[in-house]
Amino acid sequence: MQKQTITTITEIQQPNERELLTSVEAARILAMSPKTLARWRCQNNTLLPSLKIGGLVRYMRKDVNDFIDSCK
């Protein structure tokens, strides 16, 4: 007998913490400009870590969520 996994709508809608976001996506979630994120990167601001993958800048959703939580 095969084991079946039942997924609820809530589980489907929950974001993956390891998901990588573009600067535009992260900025949209944070309600700020992508230029602000770029300026933070250039100033070596460690409030929101970023990853550079093949010349592309990405943010982990978990880091974005942690940043939001730290601002509360």
**pLDDT tens digits along 11-21:** 555 567 779 99
The percent helix, strand, coil of the chain (3-state, each to 5) is 45, 15, 40
Give the predicted TM-score (pTM) of the model. 0.74
| Structural domain that includes position 21 | 15-70
For residue 51, being part of any structural domain is answered with yes
Kind and range of the H or E run holding 20: strand 20-21
- The domain spanning residue 41 has which CATH number? 1.10.10
Q: Rounded to whole angstroms, how far apart are CA atoms 57 and 60?
A: 10
Number of domains in the chain: 1
CB atoms within 10 A of CB 11: 9
Mean pLDDT of 63-67: 95
